[in-house]
Amino acid sequence: MRKRRLLIALGIVVGLFAVCGGTMAATFAGLIPVMPTTELIGGAIGVADGYVQGFIVPIGNGQAALIDCGQDPEAKALKAKLSELRLEVKAIFVTHGHRDHVGGCKAFAGAEVFSSAAEKPLIEGEVAANGPITRFSKNDPATMPKVTRTLTDGEEVSLGDVKVKAFVIPGHTAGSTAYLALGTLFFGDAATGEASGKIRNAPWVFSDDTAQCRESVRAMAKKLSADEVKTLAFAHSGPLPSFEPLKSF
């Protein structure tokens, strides 16, 4: 009897691992791989921090903006690339508050931190997200950056030689935001790039509402053109070098 119970318990544990492993495999299968560094057309640079990327946007005069900051609290990979390029970070544009995107932001003291108003409480650790997995953990406020300025949908910020335009695209999280700078549209986790050349909607296990996410991304696509967007950049995959996959999403 005891042996049978033990076997059942073991079966449940193995089953749970299989479901989790299968979900993770399905989430990342078929994506364009993330490289340690990726130079994008237009001049932005992707820097991998494990399975997630932050992006450096040079703004002239030895300065840069970041799109997200990875998960490493010391932001070692981003800092190494910045020092190689002799760039100082003036501003951080946060796509959303999941920890793997904001864990490194505090390493850039003095930088202005931008997000949508709806995302600020998630970034700063006041609330948890609403996804099947993400609802179980909040950010630790002590290790999180403070958002210094919130942006509305369509708002544009001029930094040095570069304009950064925000698109608030709720769905992956309540205030997920994409940014357009240097001809690259940065999606955060609102989409990923497939090796097949298509873009894939945000994974449901880590998302508040994937149907809303898809609608938001489609609505954003209608406001943009191939003249403005040369590259699609994603946090968990390599980039797609054309506007076309977004247009046909």
Footprint of Zn ion on residues 17-46 (CB under 5 A)?
none
Minimum gap (Å) between residue 96 Cβ and Zn ion: 5
Is 189 a binding residue for Zn ion by CB under 5 A? The answer is yes
Q: Which range touches Zn ion (CB under 5 A), out of 24-32, 149-157, 183-191, 192-200?
A: 183-191
Rule CB under 5 A: is residue 165 a binding residue for Zn ion? no
22, exposed or middle or buried, with CB in 10 Å at 0-12, 13-18, 19+? exposed
Least Å distance, CB 178 to Zn ion, is 13
Q: Which is nearer to Zn ion, 66 or 162 (CB)?
A: 66
Q: Residues with Cβ < 8 Å from 239, sequence gap 6 or more?
A: 32, 38, 40, 46, 184, 193, 231, 232, 233
The number of beta carbons lying within 10 Å of the beta carbon of residue 142 is 7
Choose the stretch contacting Zn ion; rule: CB under 5 A; options: 36-44, 57-65, 118-126, 184-192: 184-192
State the amino acid at position 223 in one-letter form.
Answer: K
The radius of gyration of the chain from alpha carbons, rounded to an integer in Å, stands at 19
Residues in the interface with Zn ion (CB under 5 A) total 2
Closer residue to Zn ion, CB minimum distance, 203 or 239: 203
- Report the residue number, 98 or 200, with the smaller CB distance to Zn ion: 98
Residue 65: strand pairing partners = 57, 91
Contact 35, 238 (CB under 8 A): yes
**Which CB sits closer to Zn ion, 47 or 191?**
191
Q: For the chain, percent helix, then strand, then coil, each to nearest 5? A: 30, 25, 40
Q: How many CB atoms lie within 10 A of CB 50?
A: 11
Nearer to Zn ion (CB atom), residue 58 or residue 131: 131
Instruction: For the CB of residue 232, give the shortest distance to Zn ion in the complex, in Å.
Output: 17
Binders in 71-110 for Zn ion, by CB under 5 A: 98
List residues near Zn ion by CB under 5 A. Answer: 98, 189
